[in-house]
């Protein structure tokens, strides 16, 4: 992987836009790396960087939803 990982997002909405932009750039830079072409895997990767008590319930719910998806569901809307 190339570039620095985005800073962990802890749920403080003041930093949400910055986190999203950093994440987008990181994914763009590493698009050719295995898994980064999959929208489902990109979402799962993003969840690894969203941590803390303010977002724990949300990340669990999104992770559980991602577990239900299949290859046919691997679309940009993920």
Contact 36, 63 (CB under 8 A): no
Tens digits of residue pLDDT in 42-70? 999 999 999 999 999 999 999 999 999 99
For residues 24 and 29, give the distance between their C-alpha atoms in angstroms, rounded to a whole number. Answer: 9
Tens digits of residue pLDDT in 15-32? 999 999 999 999 999 988
Contact 49, 6 (CB under 8 A): yes
Instruction: Say yes or no to pLDDT of 1 above 80.
Output: no
Domain assignment of residue 50, yes or no: yes
Q: Which two tokens stand for residue 46?
A: 């993003």
Q: Which domain holds residue 63?
A: 33-71
For residues 43 and 46, give the distance between their C-alpha atoms in angstroms, rounded to a whole number. Answer: 5
User: What total of structural domains would you count in the chain?
Assistant: 1
Domain assignment of residue 41, yes or no: yes
Domain assignment of residue 65, yes or no: yes
Domain assignment of residue 66, yes or no: yes
Domain assignment of residue 25, yes or no: no
Domain assignment of residue 53, yes or no: yes
Could you tell me which residues are beta bridge partners of residue 50?
9
Instruction: Say yes or no to pLDDT of 75 above 90.
Output: yes
Residue 34's pLDDT band (cuts 50, 70, 90)? confident
């Amino acid at each position: 992987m190339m570039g620095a990982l985005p800073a962990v997002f802890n749920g403080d909405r003041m930093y949400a836009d910055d986190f999203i932009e950093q994440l987008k750039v990181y994914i763009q830079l590493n698009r050719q790396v295995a898994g980064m072409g999959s929208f489902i895997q990109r979402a799962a990767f993003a969840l690894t960087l969203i941590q803390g008590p303010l977002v724990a319930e949300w990340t669990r719910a999104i992770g559980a939803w991602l577990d239900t998806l299949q290859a046919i569901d691997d679309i940009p809307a993920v």
